[in-house]
Chains A and B, each alone.
Chain A
Amino acid sequence: MKMLQSLVPLIALMIFTGCATLETNAYRIIGSAAVLVDGAMNGWGDYVRAGKASATEETQVKATYEKYQVAMRAARAVVGQYRAGASDGDALNQALDILDASKNQLITLITALTHKSP
């Protein structure tokens, strides 16, 4: 859906959430990324099981998904450091930016592949 694809970066939305801490905002960004990607990947799985995905498309989605997983693992490490007081908000925000971009890339790709004209 265009709404999901054209979402204002979640980080921008966090500006309007009031008094939530940086950690809580990071949780919302990371949590929503995980849920949205899980939803998109479940849809992709249905598409593949229906025999509609080519081998090339599968390779593309798998590579993009694994790139997202790398970004998520990096975010996990930075969150751990931030919560332990060993890292500042800048590193956390940078990790969130990268994660958000990889999430959007994956969801955009899956949407494009599963909604293409026959």
Chain B
Amino acid sequence: MNIGIIEIIASALIKYGPAAAKALYEIFTKPAPTDADWNKVFDLAEKSYEDYVKPVEPAPPAPV
């Protein structure tokens, strides 16, 4: 893995957190993407703007 890719993953870790960094690592280390891999990536881009900005529902109260 070249230094440029390591920089991308490190920057994503700092800016967006471990989940994004892990996702990038998996993408860059995959030798040959399958149909499922492609669909997963394309489906991520189908999330609507409203889904990103909608109010977060409060967590249900913990059972007593």
Contacts and interface: CB of A to CB of B under 8 A. Distances in A.
Chain B associates with chain A? yes
A118 B28 CA distance: 38
Interface string B24-51: 1001101111000110011011110100
Contact of A39 (B12, B37, B47, B55): B12
B34 to A, nearest CB: 10
B63 to A, nearest CB: 27
A28 B55 CA distance: 32
B53 A34 contact: no
Interface residues of A, number: 43
B27 A27 contact: yes
A66 B49 contact: yes
B11 A27 contact: no
A3 B11 contact: yes
Contacts of B46: 69
A102 B32 CA distance: 25
Closest 10 CB pairs of A and B: A39-B16, A31-B27, A45-B52, A72-B45, A27-B33, A48-B53, A34-B44, A39-B20, A13-B4, A31-B41
Interface of B: 2, 4-5, 7-8, 11-12, 14-17, 20, 23-24, 27-28, 30-33, 37-38, 41-42, 44-47, 49, 52-56
